[in-house]
Structures are given as C-alpha cells and as structure tokens.
C-alpha cells in the first residue's frame, strides 16, 4: 500500500492528476472525476430522496440500501463521462464522515474494494471540509466565472447543512481547525422542522425560502442568537415557531410572515457569528458551503453585510452546494499532494 502511494505520488509530479471521488454520507450516492484538484470532469449524483419524502426526513436503512443498489453504476457513469478508465485514476477518495453510519459504510467498503483491486491509493475525506472545498472547483465542460474568481486560503469557512453548522479556520494548505459548532440542531435541520410545522414539504429549505418571499420579515421577533460565543443553537426557535403557528390559526398570510421572520432570524445569526469570526481572526475571506448556502436571501444579505466590513464572501456553484462527490475528489487530491493517505483500517468517523 505504502509503495503504491509513493509511486502514484511521484508519477503525479510530472503530469495531470485524476481523482475518483465517492460520496455516500446521507441520501445522495455520488461519484466524480476531478482533474488537478479543481476541474470537474464528471459529477454524477443519484438521490434516494423520493423514498424518504413521505416520512418527512431521511430513513437511514432506506438510504444505505439505495447506496448499495446504485454505487457501482454511479461510479461507472462518472468514469465514462470523464472519458477515463479506473486504471487512469491516481487515487480513490471517499467520504469518511460525518454522516449516517450505514450510508458511510457502503462508500468506505466500495472504495476499499476498488483501491485493493486496482492498486490505487485510498484517501478518506471529511465531508464538512469538502463542502467548503466546493468553492475551489471549476466545472470542466463550460466556462465558469469560478474559473477566474476563487478564494485564497487562509480563510474562515462556514458550513451550513442539514446535519451541521460549523465555523472553520482554514490554513493555506487546506488543513482545517473547528472554531465553533451547533449546540443542538443544525441550520438546515431547523428549516426542515419549521417546514414540517407549517405543513410544507421535505427538505424544508426551498419551501421556506419560496414562502418567505411573500412574507414580511418585520412582523415577528424570533431569536436564535444562542450562546454569546461563536457556537450556534437552532432548536429553541422551532418551539417559538410552533407556538406562533398555533396562535395564528394557519392562514396563508400568517405562514408567509412566520417563514420570513424565521428565515431572517437564522440568517441574522449566521451572518453575525461568521463575520465576528472573521474579525476576531483578522481574516477577510469568508467561504460558505452546504445545502443552506443555496438560499438566495442568505446569499444577498451576507454579500451586503460582509462588504461593509471589508470581507469577501464566496459561495459554491448551486450544483456543488448540495452533497456531491466532486468536492470529495477535489479536497482528496489536495491531501494526495500533501502525501496524506488512508489505510485499509479506515472506518467511518
């Protein structure tokens, strides 16, 4: 294994590197091929979302079974679309966590099998750090503005997904230090729960965002500032929303205002804590990632308020905000360049 890593590492110094990424942390089975740590040649995503929607949340057992059914085909499609063979790939990168244990196990086991069968180095990648790395990718098949304007490390990273809300300090070499986490629910989870309270759909983010456009964000005072430090807390706000929803009787006007005021409170908190982290660390680049990052109201407000503080903000392309394997392959290639490999004892963490 060690010699095999070294061989690939030296070969890589003289030519392009091709990385195969595999992501199975939640309900998306994804595989991607990325060239030189930044150009996405293919990024195939198969989701089992439709099987979970009637339960208003992800059912872990259904998700892992769906991964087993589609992972082989998804990997084949990613290689075919990139016009690559598994033999051309320099390393195999996979999501090692965090995520649903059953789902992660499918990706980890499949990637180990590929690595062993084809004698390729194996690299486990942190899913949250990879969400931030999505900002450093360019789509290979079209000219993207992202190919020209990319953030530069060191930076402050904000991950806002369905399971996590974290602030990171990212070093120049793409190593990450956690600055803060959520003490209870994640921001995306709060969107999902409030959507359930308002009897909308799953996942809640897009429904709340759409409804909030017609509401007045000044009508109700919700608060999710949580701790005075940089940690987040989004569980209290859903109780306030529940009480307000009961009181208002469920008219469409009331629902719109609740959605707008809830979204504003969450966004206010995300902005205030991230900009405070930037100021405290004297870093003027803020990189955002995760499913909630597609929210246009959040994007607009953050761009506006960051500009006032001299902070440059970066969001990934829409398709790279949600779970995908391109971000895993991209960050994995960086680890490969730094000579950081995993061995066959790798287990989901």
φ and ψ at residue 27, rounded to 5 degrees: -105, 0
By beta-carbon proximity to Zn ion, the closer residue of 215 and 289 is 289
- Note the residues at the interface with Zn ion (CB under 5 A): 161, 323
Distance between CA atoms of 326 and 40, rounded to whole angstroms?
6
Q: Residue 226's binding partner, choosing from ligand KG4, Zn ion, none, with beta-carbon cut-off 5 to 8 A by kind?
A: none
- Residue with Cβ nearer Zn ion (160 or 224): 160
- Cross-strand partners of 46: 29
- Provide the binding-site residues for ligand KG4, judged by CB under 6 A: 26, 161-163, 188-189, 191-192, 203-206, 209, 290-292, 294-295, 322-323
Cis amide prior to 211 (ω within 30 degrees): no
The residue of the chain with the least Cβ separation from ligand KG4 equals 205
- Residue closer to ligand KG4 by CB (options 38, 209) is 209
Least distance from C-beta 291 to Zn ion, angstroms?
A: 6
Nearest-approach distance from CB 125 to ligand KG4, in angstroms: 13
Contact 248, 205 (CB under 8 A): no
Q: Are 90 and 120 in contact (CB under 8 A)?
A: yes
Give me the least distance between CB of 105 and Zn ion, in Å please. 17
- Provide the minimum distance between the beta carbon of 320 and ligand KG4 in the complex, in angstroms, as a whole number: 10
Residue whose CB is less far from ligand KG4, 114 or 258: 258
Residue 23 interacts with, from ligand KG4, Zn ion, none (CB under 5-8 Å by kind): none
Nearer to ligand KG4, 8 or 295 (CB): 295
Compute the least distance from the CB of residue 22 to ligand KG4, in Å.
Answer: 15
Closest CA to 191 of 317, 293, 100, 98: 293
What's 232's DSSP letter? Answer: B
Q: Which is nearer to ligand KG4, 140 or 188 (CB)?
A: 188
Instruction: Give the DSSP per-residue string, 276-338.
Output: HHHHHHT--EEEEESGGGG-HHHHHHHHHHHHHTT-EEE---GGGTSS-SHHHHHHHHHHHHT
Residues, the chain, total?
349
Q: Residue 192's binding partner, choosing from Zn ion, ligand KG4, none, with beta-carbon cut-off 5 to 8 A by kind?
A: ligand KG4
Taking residue 287's Cβ as centre, other Cβ atoms within 10 Å add up to 28
Q: Sort residue 250 into left (φ over 0), alpha (ψ -120 to 50) or beta.
A: left
Is the peptide bond between 14 and the residue preceding it cis, with omega within 30 degrees of 0? no
| Smallest separation (angstroms) from Zn ion to the CB of 195 | 18
49 vs 68, beta carbon nearer ligand KG4: 49
185 binds, among ligand KG4, Zn ion, none (CB under 5 to 8 A by kind): none
CB of 211 to ligand KG4, least distance (A): 11
């Amino acid at each position: 294994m060690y010699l095999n890593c070294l061989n690939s590492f030296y070969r890589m110094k003289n030519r392009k590197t091709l990385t195969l990424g595999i992501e199975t942390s939640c309900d998306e089975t994804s595989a991607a091929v990325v060239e030189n740590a930044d150009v996405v040649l293919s990024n195939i995503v198969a989701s089992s979302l439709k099987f979970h929607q009637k339960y208003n949340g992800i059912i872990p057992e259904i998700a892992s079974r769906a991964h087993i059914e589609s992972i082989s085909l998804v990997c084949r499609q990613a290689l075919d679309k990139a016009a690559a063979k598994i033999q051309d790939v320099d390393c195999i990168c996979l999501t090692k966590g965090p995520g649903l244990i059953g789902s992660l196990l499918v990706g980890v086991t499949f990637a180990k099998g590929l690595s062993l069968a084809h004698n390729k180095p194996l690299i486990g990648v942190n899913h949250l750090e990879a969400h931030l790395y999505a900002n450093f990718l360019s789509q290979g098949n079209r000219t993207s503005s992202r190919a020209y304007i990319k953030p530069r490390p060191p930076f402050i990273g904000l991950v806002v997904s369905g399971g996590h809300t974290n602030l990171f300090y990212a070093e120049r070499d793409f190593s990450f230090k956690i600055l803060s986490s959520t003490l209870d629910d994640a921001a995306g989870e709060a969107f999902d729960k409030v959507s359930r309270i308002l009897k909308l759909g799953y996942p809640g983010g897009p429904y709340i965002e759409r409804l909030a456009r017609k509401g007045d964000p000044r009508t109700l005072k919700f608060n999710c500032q949580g701790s005075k430090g940089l940690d987040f807390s989004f569980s209290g706000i859903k109780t306030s929303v529940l009480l307000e929803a009961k009181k208002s009787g469920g008219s469409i006007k009331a629902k719109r205002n609740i959605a707008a005021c809830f979204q504003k409170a969450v966004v206010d908190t995300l902005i205030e804590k991230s900009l405070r982290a930037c100021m405290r660390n004297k870093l003027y680049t803020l990189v955002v990632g995760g499913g909630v990052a597609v929210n246009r109201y959040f994007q607009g407000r953050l761009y506006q308020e960051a500009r006032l503080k001299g902070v440059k903000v970066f969001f990934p392309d829409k398709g790279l905000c949600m779970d995908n394997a391109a971000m895993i392959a991209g960050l994995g290639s960086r680890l490969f360049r730094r000579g950081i490999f995993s061995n066959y004892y790798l287990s989901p963490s």
